[in-house]
Structure 1
């Protein structure tokens, strides 16, 4: 199968996207892969597969590679006497801003390019955590209690300490702090505000059970990954998550009951259906006193959560053959012609 991996982007998670792309190069050995890099200035480059290594980008070597433009149905590479079209299914692997906020989805939709990844609506409701909370309320999905803070207001929190403070629109635990008492709150807010003007404050639940479940829809049915119980200390910090994004070996299935696995799958269904079709996503759940709570939605998980699937290559191929198709309006100018005819023009 031919697949173009689009990665990079102008976000705090730019380097993580590079790590993910390099990991998938090694993981998808049976695919006909090509790579398109989006730099921080939103220029696109066709990356030589043999040069897919971290130093290519850290040293700026990608700038010597073919620069691409975009047109209806394809990315274009202009040569001296011809133009080469880079067609085929695109895998949106840009983490954070650009990739997960709906920007790339809008671009690909606008130019009618087939892609694996969250559509615009799904991006909006998963990128900003406050919108994720609203989605939970609308779909009757239980989630962790929260309070919202904005950079232009100052107030005290109403919940008891310890709490966790996180930017509303970032993943990978960037800007996240655990606050154990009031004296630490202002500093934690300042750290979070470095990355976002909106902040979520949630109770930090001691010894909580956490489980990850990924999945996608193919041929009208949701295909689930195994359930993982991530190993962590206080919480998965940036360094731990950064290293996890390079994982390619399948992890062990969590030792949980069939009843709990069914609860996790049912909640995943509520999140995914009528929102994330066309994407492979991972949901991170908390389980408190037997109750499943949605913690976060990862619309483009690190390295596409390949380590949670027994047949990751087969899964991507099935997903690529089941992508939703947007319907374009047919423009025939009947209205203008009828007006012109009525006026005798």
Structure 2
């Protein structure tokens, strides 16, 4: 299976996507193609040897072949016309805006390109933290109480609370507020990244577990369950360092009963339209009850570090992608009107 990896794009998580793609390059045994989307939303074919962070930060990527997105795939221009980039399946590894908000999914679907990643509706629901809460409730999975603030709004929650931009990942713009003196600054930080901010009660020392998976042959293929190491909460630096690592995570030491609860909650979430994607769900466990914290529709380095045999998993998923319904357009309706009433 020849994979193409899409990464970069116009997002606060642009650099994280680059690091994520580099990490995946070092994990996959079969060398993929790399398609970089820059901040101007132009596509470039990146040679494997150039997959280094400073190749992008220096702007040297602009010397690479420019690509055009058309029906059926990505094409590079040449002396003898356009040539299609040969990849069987693309992996949407764009984090945040453009990749996880549904834009890339819509483009790939529109141009009939096979890809691993959430489809449009699932992207929109998991990108917005408030919509994620609604999705979880619909799926029968518990969530923490919350409220959404706009500038000028006052929170009704007692401290301590945690503030999160509604449409952002990787813990960017997230703050824990324990004292009134910290609240105004934390709100300013969050509103730098979004017009809406999610507020939840902050629970000191809450147990947190990560579980990834995808649907293969009608059944969920689960990763191990990880209990991530964290300080107060999983901040940007801790997440950045964890998924950029190429070493495999350790399985959480938990009961079989709790494992079953986490897997059941994951399956309920995944069943809400995530076919074709490998996602990671982050859960809280409070008084032995499972709560969804967030959905990572394009997790860092595709959560490869949580799987025993990631390559086998991703290859199997590539063979189990959903197919868009073939709609027959034959103009019978227009022709019937024309023949009955003359020219329209």
TM tier relative to shorter chain? over 0.9
- Is it true that 1:162 corresponds to 2:160 in the alignment? yes
Matched residue SS, 1:46: strand
Q: Spell out, residue by residue over 1:136-172, the C-alpha distance to the aligned partner (whole angstroms, 9 max, x if none).
A: 2222210111111013x422x2222110001001111
Compute the displacement of 1:221 (Å): 0.6
Partner of 1:279: 277
SS in 2 for 1:332: coil
In 1, distance between residues paired with 2:207 and 2:342? 74
Q: What is the SS of the residue equivalent to 1:297?
A: strand
1:180-195 equivalent positions in 2, closer than 5 A = 180-195=178-193
How far apart, CA to CA, are the structure 1 residues paired with 2:55 and 2:31? 21
**Which residue of the partner structure matches residue 8 of structure 1?**
8
Distance 1:198 1:249 in 2: 36
Give ranges in structure 2 of 5+ residues lacking alignment.
none
Please list, as runs of the form range in 1=range in 2, the aligned pairs for 1:164-179 lying within 5 A after superposition.
164-179=162-177
Deviates more, 1:194-203 or 1:176-185: 176-185
Counterpart for residue 75 of structure 2: 76
What is the alpha-carbon distance in structure 1 between the residues aligned to residue 89 and residue 119 of structure 2?
Answer: 15
Aligned to 1:220: 218
C-alpha distance in 2 between matches for 1:308 and 1:242: 15
Provide the residue aligned with 1:241 in structure 2. 239
Aligned-partner SS, 1:206: coil
Give the structure 2 partner of residue 61 of structure 1. 60
Counterpart of 2:147 in structure 1 is 147
Query: Conserved in 2, the CA contact under 8 Å of 1:247 and 1:303?
Result: no
Task: Kindly indicate whether residue 99 of structure 2 is the aligned counterpart of residue 106 of structure 1.
Answer: no
Q: Which residue of 1 aligns with 2:200?
A: 202
Q: Measure how far apart 1:15 and its partner are.
A: 0.3
RMSD (CA atoms): 1.0
1:175: how far off?
0.3
1:232-269 superposed Cα distances (whole Å, 9 cap, x missing partner): 11111111211122122111110000000000000001
Cα distance, 1:301 vs. partner? 0.6
Number of aligned residue pairs: 342
CA distance in 2, matches of 1:67, 1:112: 20
The 3-state SS of whatever aligns with 1:62 is helix
Q: Kindly indicate whether the alpha-carbon contact (under 8 Å) linking 1:167 and 1:195 is maintained by their aligned counterparts in 2.
A: yes
- Give, in whole Å, the separation in 2 of the partners of 1:344 and 1:180: 75
Counterparts of 1:289-300 in structure 2 under 5 Å?
289-300=287-298
Kept after mapping to 1: 8 A contact 2:25/2:31 = no
